[in-house]
Amino acid sequence: MRIAIGSDHRGFELKIELVSYLKKKGHKVLDLGTFSSTSCDYPLYCFKVGEAVSSKKAQRGIFICKTGIGSCIALNKVKGIRAGLVYNIKAAKFSRLHNDTNVLVLGADFVSFEYARRLVGIWLNTEFEGGRHQRRINQIRKIEEGYGL
């Protein structure tokens, strides 16, 4: 799978570790920055990851910052992105199973590398269930396109 990954300065160290992990698992990784722990603004890098997924340059995306909250908000502004902020195993599973998230957001201050690796593994290996959930995804798309419900 081709995965776009990005972070701000607070997520940089975890991003580097996850890039290595993903490559070892055989994924193609598109690292979109940041490339240091120097303070930066996360929306720029969120947009890069979101655009890569939205334009199909990557099948999925991962973004890491301090808490994940602002990044999740920013990513969900990119058309076609369904980003989910995940702090536990069940949320990682259901973000894919029910919401078909295409970008995983992690808060570096809340997950260790080992736990992040578990979350990423579950998220990457869980398929969207479809069914009644597809109807809800379609409703989200209508909202995104400005048509309302």
40 is catalytic: no
Q: Read off the pLDDT of each residue in 61-88 and give the average, rounded to a whole number.
A: 98
Q: How far is CA 123 from the centre of its chain?
A: 10
Domains of the chain: 2-144 (3.40.1400.10)
**Is 98 in the active site?**
yes
- CA–CA distance, 99 with 87 (Å, rounded to integer): 16
Torsion of CA 127, 94, 86, 82, to 10 degrees: 60
Residue 112 has pLDDT above 80, yes or no: yes
- Answer whether residue 149 shows pLDDT above 90: no
The C-alpha atoms of residue 24 and residue 84 are separated, in whole angstroms, by 24
Single pTM value for the model: 0.97
The mean of the pLDDT values for the chain is 97
Alpha-carbon span 147 to 102, nearest angstrom: 22
Residue 32, C-beta contacts closer than 8 angstroms, at least 6 positions apart: 4, 5, 6, 45, 48, 49, 52
Cβ count within 10 A of residue 124:
18
pLDDT cut 70: percent of the chain above it: 100
Catalytic residue among 9, 27, 46, 65: 65
Per-residue pLDDT band at 147 (split at 50, 70, 90): confident
What's the rounded Cα separation, in Å, for the pair 101 and 14? 21
